[in-house]
C-alpha cells in the first residue's frame, strides 16, 4: 500500500540555503489598460520606472519581477505619450528588456541596482503579463524604504517598442508613487518625473532559509 512520508533533511546540510516561495506580492495591475509608450532603444525611452515601499520583514528578498507589455507593432504603433521628441513610435518587433529593482536617490538610482532578471525577450500578444525570477546576488530590501521597479532596454538589442499598462495611483497601495521615464541612452537621467497614472508592475518577495528547515514529501510503496 502506498503511503506518504514527510522527511526533513539532515542538519549536515545546515550551511546550504534555498529561497522559499514568495509570501508577499506587491502588484499594481493595469486597471487603465495599455498606456505609456514607447519603451524602446530605437528612438523611444530607455527606462520606465515606478516606485513602491518595501513591506515589513521577513519577506524582504526580491524573487520575481514582472510587468504588463504590449507590442506596439501589433497595436498599430500609436504615437508616444511620453517621448520628448514627439515623433512617431518606432515599429518593427519588440526589443529585449530587463526588469530590475533600483534604490532611491530622490528618484530612480541607476547606480544602485538591487535585483535584476537579466535579459528577457518577451513577445506579447495584446497587453500581456511577463515575469521572471531574479538572478542570484539580489539584495534584501529595508522595510519602509522606497524602491523603484524599472523596465530597462539600456544596452539591449532588437527593434520596435513596447507599451506598458497604466495603474491608478494609490488604488492598490497608498504610497503616492508615480511613473518616471528616461530618454537618456545610458538610462541615468530622467526626462519625465512624477507622472500619473503609474506603470503597472509586480514584485514577489520572500526569504532565504536553511534547507534543513524546509519539509519535503516523498512517496513510498510500504
Segments forming the whole domain that contains residue 56? 3-10+19-220
Q: Is the pLDDT of residue 213 over 70?
A: no
Look at residue 222 and tell me whether its pLDDT is greater than 70.
Answer: no
pLDDT (tens digit per residue) in 16-40: 445 455 589 999 999 999 999 999 9
Q: What are phi and psi of 186, to 5 degrees?
A: -85, -10
Using a 10 angstrom Cβ sphere, with 0-12 exposed, 13-18 middle and 19 or more buried, the burial of residue 91 is middle
Phi, psi of 69 (to 5 degrees): -125, 150
Distance CA 128, CA 125 (A): 6
Supply the pLDDT for residue 43. 86
pLDDT digits (tens, 9 = 90+) for 139-185: 999 999 999 999 999 999 999 999 999 999 999 999 999 999 999 99
Q: Which helix (H) or strand (E) holds 218?
A: strand 215-220
3-class state of residue 213 by DSSP: helix
What pLDDT is stored for residue 72 in this prediction? 87
51-89 in b/e form (b: 16+ CB < 10 A) is bbbbbeeebbbbbbbbbbbbbbbbbebeebebbeeeeeb
At residue 212, does pLDDT exceed 60? no
Contacts of 130 (CB under 8 A, 6+ apart): 66, 67, 68, 69, 120, 122, 124
174 Cβ contact partners less than 8 Å away, ≥ 6 residues apart = none
pTM: 0.81
Give the pLDDT band (50/70/90) at residue 10: very low
Residue 125 gets which letter from DSSP?
S
Number of domains composing the chain: 1
Grid coordinates representing 83 are 517621448
Model confidence at 84, in pLDDT bands (50, 70, 90)?
very low
Kindly tell me if the per-residue pLDDT of 9 is higher than 60.
Answer: no
Diameter of the chain measured on Cα atoms: 71
In total, the chain counts a number of residues equal to 222
127: pLDDT strictly greater than 80: yes
Amino acid at each position: 500500500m502506498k503511503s506518504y512520508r514527510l522527511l526533513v533533511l539532515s542538519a549536515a546540510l545546515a550551511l546550504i540555503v534555498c529561497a522559499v516561495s514568495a509570501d508577499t506580492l506587491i502588484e499594481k495591475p493595469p486597471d487603465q489598460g495599455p498606456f505609456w509608450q514607447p519603451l524602446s532603444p530605437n528612438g523611444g525611452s530607455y527606462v520606465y520606472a515606478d516606485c513602491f515601499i518595501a513591506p515589513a520583514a521577513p519577506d524582504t528578498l526580491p524573487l520575481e519581477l514582472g510587468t504588463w507589455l504590449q507590442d506596439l507593432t501589433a497595436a498599430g504603433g500609436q504615437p508616444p505619450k511620453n517621448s520628448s521628441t514627439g515623433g512617431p513610435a518606432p515599429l518593427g518587433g519588440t526589443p529585449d528588456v530587463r526588469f530590475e529593482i533600483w534604490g532611491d536617490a530622490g528618484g530612480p538610482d541607476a547606480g544602485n541596482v538591487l535585483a535584476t532578471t537579466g535579459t528577457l525577450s518577451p513577445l506579447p500578444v495584446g497587453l500581456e503579463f511577463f515575469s521572471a525570477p531574479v538572478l542570484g546576488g539580489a539584495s534584501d530590501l529595508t522595510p519602509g524604504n522606497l524602491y523603484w521597479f524599472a523596465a530597462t532596454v539600456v544596452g539591449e538589442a532588437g527593434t520596435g517598442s513596447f507599451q506598458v499598462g497604466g495603474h491608478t495611483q494609490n488604488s492598490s497601495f497608498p504610497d503616492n508613487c508615480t511613473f518616471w521615464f528616461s530618454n537618456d541612452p545610458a538610462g541615468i537621467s530622467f526626462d519625465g518625473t512624477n507622472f500619473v497614472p503609474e506603470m503597472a508592475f509586480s514584485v514577489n518577495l520572500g526569504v532565504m532559509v536553511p534547507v534543513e528547515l524546509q519539509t519535503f514529501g516523498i512517496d513510498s510503496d510500504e
